[in-house]
Amino acid sequence: MSVRVVQTTEGWNICSQNNDEMYAVTKINIVCQCLLKCENCQACIHQYSCTGLDSSVRWNMCKHIHYICHFNKDKSFLLCQGDNELDIHELSSEKDVIADELGRRYSPIRIGMSDRREALKLKLNAMVDTLNSEEEIQAFVKNFASVKPTIDAICLHNAEIPPLPHNKEIIPVNKKIIPQRRLFSTKKKTSNAAWR
């Protein structure tokens, strides 16, 4: 797959592979302290903007932004200034990258429960430490207030689920059919003589 990238004063221009569209990726915030970062790129979601449709969805990093992050991360690529263009060949296709990401994201978690709790505590402490104003604290408290009822509901739901019977005899659905009532007409029959 060959992708054309042109570095400009505002950011980067990426040529589309399928059609003749050009996507502009710009870097908005150079240093960011937010915790929402891509694991591969180490860039937060609001650090870049793109003119593509995928980037218009809030809290979504499009493939063009990921590509530019990898482009900047790898120092072996030569950056081109102005109108100079660079052909970059990727080794894997887009479908392979998506499949790998989904496989990694939804793979069974192998770390223990206590390690996960400890990591969650550290993450929550880091989030609380970044709060600087009363409005931020109120927003955090408001969103955090729904966590306890949600956990209680999950515990209650798990406790109420009865175990499935394993030794139940399988009976065909058509074996015990209740016969339908016989319906008859309640209309009064008239004689044919009355019609003549």
* pLDDT for position 134: 92
**pLDDT score of 107 more than 50:** no
For 71-90, what is each residue's pLDDT tens digit? 777 644 444 444 444 444 44
pTM of the model: 0.37
CA distance 4 to 37: 26
Band (pLDDT 50/70/90 cuts) for residue 10 is confident
pLDDT in tens, 134-182: 998 998 888 888 888 888 888 887 776 666 666 667 777 788 788 888 7
Distance (Å, rounded) from C-alpha 99 to C-alpha 42? 20
Decide the pairing of beta strands 48-50 and 86-89: unpaired
**With contact defined as beta carbons under 8 Å apart, do 85 and 75 qualify?**
no
Q: How far is C-alpha 196 from the chain's CA centre?
A: 79
pLDDT in tens, 110-143: 457 777 888 888 888 888 888 899 998 998 888 8
What counts of helices (H) and strands (E) characterise the chain?
6, 5
For residue 176, the model assigns a pLDDT of 78
* Secondary structure percentages of the chain, helix, strand, coil, to 5: 35, 15, 50
